[in-house]
Each structure stands twice: as structure tokens, then as C-alpha cells.
Chain A
Amino acid sequence: MVTREDVENIALLSKLFVPEEELDGLTKSMQEIIDFADTINNAPVSGDSFDDINNLSNVFREDVVVESYSTKEILENAPEQAEDHFLVRNRE
């Protein structure tokens, strides 16, 4: 069972603010989502079969350096930047 505390905890971990009046509704929705996802448990499988769905193993890369991107390119999508760094503003 999903509880109000679960929703509060998930909100905290996700760095989301949830107003008090929305908690009951969200708890109910969350329970429904989990119930829906639970239908997968009825699938007739055993053991680890979801683990390696492609049946692949040991896909490796050789230890050879390839030139990195330029700092300009790396920072291109940064919401904010300063002195060649990604800048994270303190919102408090």
C-alpha cells in the first residue's frame, strides 16, 4: 500500500514540493499506477529472464583515447555557465 509518507518521501527525493492538499489525491493516483504496473507480475516467466533481454554479454570498448569535445561545445546546453564551468545557482 502506498501511504502519504511514501509520497512525501518520493517528493523529497525528487526535489519536488507537494502542497498538503494534493497529498491524498497523489497517494491514490500513485496506488493506481503501481497496481497497473503490477499486472506485469502475472506474466508467465521465471528467474532472470528479464535481466538480459538481448542475451548479450561482454560488450567492451578498447582503452584508446579519443579527443574530447571542446569546452565550448560541452557547455553549449548549460542553463548557466561561468569561467568554463557549469554554474549551479544557490536558490535558497
Chain B
Amino acid sequence: MKYELVAGFETHIELATKTKIFCSCTTQFGGAPNSHCCPVCIGLPGTLPKLNREVVNYAIKAGLAVHGEIAEIAKMDRKNYCYPDLSKAYQISQLYAPLIIGGYVELSNGRKIRLHHIHIEEDAGKLIHQHGDTYVDYNRGGVPLIEIVSEPDIRSVDEAREYVEKLQQVMRYIGISDCKMQEGSMRCDVNISVRPQGSEKLGTRTEIKNMNSINNIAKAMEYEYERQVDLIESGGKVVQETLRYDDATNTTSSMRSKEDAHDYRYFRDPDLVTIKVSREEVEEIKSELPELPADKCKRYIEELAIPEKDAQLLTKYRKISEYFDEACNGVKSPKTVSNFIIGQIFRRTETEADKEIFNVSVSPLQLNELVKLLDSGKIRNNLAKSTLEKMLDSGKGALEFISESDMGGLDENALLELCKQAVESNPKAVDDYRNGKEKAIKALVGNVMKNSRGKADASAAEAKIKELIG
């Protein structure tokens, strides 16, 4: 029997606000242990949390970016659990009235992964387990998070990968988080089950906690899918439990079963008042959002005639798309700009990290000037390419490398002269051509191009040479 994978994600994203969610301590990553703390974020009795306005704004941005509905009224709740990463023995979160309801992430195959809601909450401290004891650092305690809860709409590992990448991309675009999985500013819990292909009923799910890289998510899902299918095929039953993934052995193991699942005893946090969001505020925040990557990609394809694959590369990171937008200003062929970026410039920004920062020695305006020279027919493609290399090496503009005499192409006489030279200096190629070797003409044209320093028009040169030797 064939089995279908069904997965839903809970994605935690640390917001890039300057201060924590309920106090004015810095959210900076790292720092000496317990040096970014105050009585509020270490949960001393008698302290009062006060909500950071920017957390609400950032979460609303996130909600709008994934087409969610912004609640008019939201409230904070206490989620009770006893573990040293939270000294208060409860986490301030949202259950009954989250800030964002619904929404979706659209995948390239056209499927929409629906979101159940997005809520805001505080992060917990960091635990270091050593020799059976636990060392607690509360620097991360109280750092604002959004948790994006999807419906169980994901049907394959590839979809899971794209879902996470899309979330990461859009959240970075709108600037609410750096979404660095390796630093923990983005973490995923994956709920996964299997069911016979064609069945509508959901199988029993397991939850894999705290995945911190897209590759590990993919590997853990593949492992868990196989494990569940094998279990069912051999007559067993999947037990609802929470799992931990070990990337060294590529296996999952049980953290706790449903029997000792926590009863979180959620209730309204009496220390924090209701959040009311006016529709005017929502509109204002909406107007501040940049063009989203999906919209940009669509525009590049439909309005600028960029091939889909290239449009995806250009929109992967906001910096690249902004560079492209600026370099395209007033040019006839955005495709040319795109080719220069994806070809020559990407060769110098090889890693994903380089592409994300996209620190290019040639400014978008300089590239724009170069492409306009091409557009106007003043220079030819070969010269443009070699000039771009020199520009990238030096950071200087195109006109540093192209003299007046390089521009404007060749007049008839100069072209004729070069063609004659080519014919005279390559008797073998001429003979070959006359003996029916059509391709031999390319050598002659190449000679003309070289001696004209790329200024000659190749097809005009070919025609002229054929006239001379034909």
C-alpha cells in the first residue's frame, strides 16, 4: 500500500526588536551569561511585565505578509509548566485570543499551506546540561517570538522544505527577523503522520521538536515517515508522542509520550491588559511593508519578461531584488540586467551568505549605465561583458574602461577593411570555406571581432566576408 505523508509545522521566529517582549533588556544574541537580564525577565516575584509595542507591530507585519487576518482584540495567557528554562514556571503566550488568525503560504506547485494562527510569546532561557547538573542562562529569556502554526497541509518533504524557505524569505524581506536557524532565531516543531494514499482521515501524529536546520527537518521527516509506515505495515500502531531528532545518528527518539503530556492549564495573564488593534493601524503598517517576494517574482516574470527560474534567483534575497530594481531603472531590456547579475555578479557572490548581504563592488547605478550603453547600441555584448569584469575588479564605472573610440560601432569602411585583413591573413579558413566547410567562416568572423575589439557586428561581418570570398 502507498502511504501519504501529512505534516504541519509550528515555527518559532525571534523578532528583531531591540528589547525583550516584557522588559527593556537588550535582545542581542550571545553576551556573557546572565548579563542581559533584569528582575522581570528572570521572573522575580512582584515584578510586572509591560508589553513592547514594537512586538505587536512586527507580529502584525508578519501576519500581513502571510495573508493573515489581524485580530481586533488579542490577549496574553499563561502557559504553566515547571522547567528551569522558565523561572516563573509559566510562559506568557497566547491561546484564547491570538493576534493573527488564518493566513497561508503559497508554494511553487500552487498549493496553499494554510495557517491556523500566529501568536506572540516570550522565549525561554538557555540550559546547559553538564555532569548531570543544569546551568541556566536567562539572556534569551523574554526575547520576543512569534509562533506560526500551520494546518496539516504539507504532503511531502519537498513541500516542507519550501514552506520553511518561503517563511524565512518573507520574514527577512519585511525585516522582522534574521531567521538564522543555526543561531536559533528560527526553530521548527514538525507534526507528522502517515495515512493510506487517498484516505481523508488523519493518522496518529508524532511531534519532532526543535529542528534547527532545513536539512535536518528533511532528514528527520524522511526517517519518521519510514518509521511510521514500517510500524503500520508490520501490524503496529503509531503512538502519539514527542520526539527528539539526533542528526548524528539520523534517528528520532522519544522525549515523552502522550500519557505524561503536559497539562498547561492555560489562563489569561492578569498582569497584561487587552491588546486592541484599530483598522487604521493595520492599514498604516500595511502601507509600510515592502513589495513581498512572491509579488516581486510575479512582476518580474509578467512585466519584465524574466524567466521564472531567474526571477526566483533575483527575489530570493531582498538585497538582490533591490539591486536589480535599481539597475533596471529606465533600461530597455531588464533581462540583460538579470543576466549580468545572475552570471557575472553571482560568480563573485558564491555563498548564500554572500548573496544575502549582496555587497557588490559595482553599484546598481554603474551597472545601469553599462546596460544603457548596450541598449543604445554604442557598445556590443562582448565589450560589455569584459568591461563588467573590469568594473567588478576595480569598483570603477564603465566609462573608465570604454573610450569614445570604442563606441558607436564601426563604419562600413572600417568593417570592410577588417574583413579584408581577416581574409588575407587566414588563407586556410578561406580555402576550407570555399571547399564547403561552412563553419570555417566563424574563424574569419572571430578574427574581425577580435581586431575590432568587440565593436563589429558579427552578422554584418559574416555577410561582408561572404561577399568577399563567396
Residues of A with Cβ closer than 8 Å to B? 9, 13-15, 51-52, 54, 56-66, 68-71, 74-75, 77, 82-90, 92
Contact present for B25 and A66 (CB under 8 Å): yes
Given the known interface contacts A58-B273, A86-B135, the answer about A65 and B34 at a Cβ–Cβ threshold of 8 Å is no
Which B residues, 262 to 320, have Cβ-Cβ distances below 8 Å to chain A? 262-263, 265, 268, 272-276
Least CB distance, B260 to chain A, in whole angstroms: 8
Contact present for B268 and A66 (CB under 8 Å): no
Most buried by B among A9, A13, A86: A86
**How far apart sit A65 and B35, CA to CA, in the bound complex (Å)?**
13
Q: Does B360 contact A (CB under 8 A)?
A: no
Question: Which residue in chain A gives the minimum CB-CB distance to B25?
Answer: A68
Which B residues, 27 to 51, have Cβ-Cβ distances below 8 Å to chain A? 32-39, 42, 44, 50-51
Q: Which residues of A contact B275 (CB under 8 A)?
A: 57-58
**How far apart sit A61 and B273, CA to CA, in the bound complex (Å)?**
13
Which B residues, 123 to 139, have Cβ-Cβ distances below 8 Å to chain A? 128, 132-138
Question: Which residue in chain A gives the minimum CB-CB distance to B83?
Answer: A88
Question: Which residue in chain A gives the minimum CB-CB distance to B54?
Answer: A63
Given the known interface contacts A57-B275, A63-B19, the answer about A85 and B34 at a Cβ–Cβ threshold of 8 Å is yes
Question: Which residue in chain A gives the minimum CB-CB distance to B264?
Answer: A13
Among B17, B84, B265, contact of A63 (Cβ-Cβ < 8 Å):
B17
Q: Which residues of A contact B134 (CB under 8 A)?
A: 87-88, 90
Q: Does B463 contact A (CB under 8 A)?
A: no
Q: Does B53 contact A (CB under 8 A)?
A: yes
Given the known interface contacts A52-B273, A57-B275, the answer about A85 and B52 at a Cβ–Cβ threshold of 8 Å is no
Which B residues, 343 to 372, have Cβ-Cβ distances below 8 Å to chain A? none
Q: Which residues of A contact B272 (CB under 8 A)?
A: 59
Contact present for B18 and A63 (CB under 8 Å): yes
Least CB distance, B119 to chain A, in whole angstroms: 17
Interface of B is mostly: loop
Contact present for A88 and B19 (CB under 8 Å): no
Contact present for B133 and A89 (CB under 8 Å): yes
Residues of chain B at interface, number, CB under 8 A: 45
**How far apart sit A30 and B42, CA to CA, in the bound complex (Å)?**
32
Q: Which residues of B contact A56 (CB under 8 A)?
A: 273-274
Q: Which residues of B contact A92 (CB under 8 A)?
A: 132
Interface of A is mostly: loop
Given the known interface contacts A56-B273, A66-B25, A83-B33, the answer about A61 and B53 at a Cβ–Cβ threshold of 8 Å is yes
Q: Does B82 contact A (CB under 8 A)?
A: yes
Given the known interface contacts A61-B50, A63-B53, A86-B84, the answer about A68 and B36 at a Cβ–Cβ threshold of 8 Å is yes
Contact present for A52 and B274 (CB under 8 Å): yes
Q: Which residues of B contact A52 (CB under 8 A)?
A: 273-274
**How far apart sit A73 and B326, CA to CA, in the bound complex (Å)?**
51
Not counting A61-B52, A74-B38, a sample of 6 additional A-B residue pairs whose C-beta atoms are within 8 angstroms of each other reads A13-B262, A57-B274, A63-B17, A64-B19, A68-B25, A87-B133
Contact present for A64 and B24 (CB under 8 Å): yes
Q: Which residues of A contact B84 (CB under 8 A)?
A: 86, 88
Given the known interface contacts A51-B274, A58-B275, A85-B136, the answer about A63 and B38 at a Cβ–Cβ threshold of 8 Å is no
**How far apart sit A74 and B50, CA to CA, in the bound complex (Å)?**
19
